[in-house]
Amino acid sequence: MEAYKQEFIEFMIDCEVLKFGDFVTKSGRRTPFFVNTGFYRTGTQLRRLGEYYAKAIQNTFGMDFDVLFGPAYKGIPLTVATTMAISEFYNADIRYCSNRKEIKDHGDKGILLGSPVQDHDRVIIIEDVTTAGTSIEETLPIIRAQGDVNVLGLVVSVDRMERGKGTRSALKEIEEKYGLKTTAIVTMGEVVEHLYNRPYRGRIVIDDELKAAIDAYYGQYGAE
């Protein structure tokens, strides 16, 4: 596993973004792990998060694109932090864009903030975690309504590796339905690989009992 992935896993733990215990997801699934990106709360944390996203984008897509689009609301700081990291580490001046939840009818009017999306722009969408595709269903029409736009793909922070609406993972379903390339900074499989029976800051994060609970969860909800 690449060093930046290991660092990112530990970074999520330090920020209390990645937690283990007994949780219930929005879909009603009881899960032994939870990812809450709302716990990235400081400038330093956002700067580092942008660096990890930039690395994942470089590894999968390269830097031959024009716009990074982050759906409101969580996608807004992600686009800003990541385009700044791309500028610093890859010397690429990528434009950022997000949508508004409500259309603004005065001043800078319209549904978009940041850079306009124009004909022939190559766009990558950035989100926090793997979704069931609901956000993509809302986001793609907004982007494509701006003109003849080429949406290249989607990048998220964590692939939960569980079933979406069918038997495939949510990211795979998005790839197949919309023809987009998808990637994540890390997968939950990589998280388990890195943390299982390995001490971090003086404690074992994933012990045998927790590993068994994770395995049972994937036995029930894991993607093909």
- DSSP letter (8 states) at residue 107: S
Token readout for 211 is 């590993």
Candidates 26, 106, 109, 120; catalytic one: 106
Task: Name residue, tokens 């944390």.
Answer: 45
Contacts of 62 (CB under 8 A, 6+ apart): none
Could you tell me which residues are beta bridge partners of residue 162?
222
Instruction: For CA atoms 141, 142, 148, 153, give the dihedral sign.
Output: negative
Active site residue 106: yes
Non-local (6+) Cβ contacts of 219 within 8 A are none
Tell me how many helices (H) and strands (E) the chain has.
Answer: 7, 10
Distance of CA 124 to the CA centre of its chain: 12
Which of these is catalytic: 5, 55, 101, 104? 104
Amino acid at 5: K
Structure tokens that stand for 112 in this block = 């978009």
What is the spatial order of strands in the sheet that 95-104 belongs to?
110-114, 95-104, 67-70, 122-126, 150-159, 181-187
C-alpha dihedral sign at 69, 71, 75, 76: positive
Write out the catalytic residue numbers: 104, 106
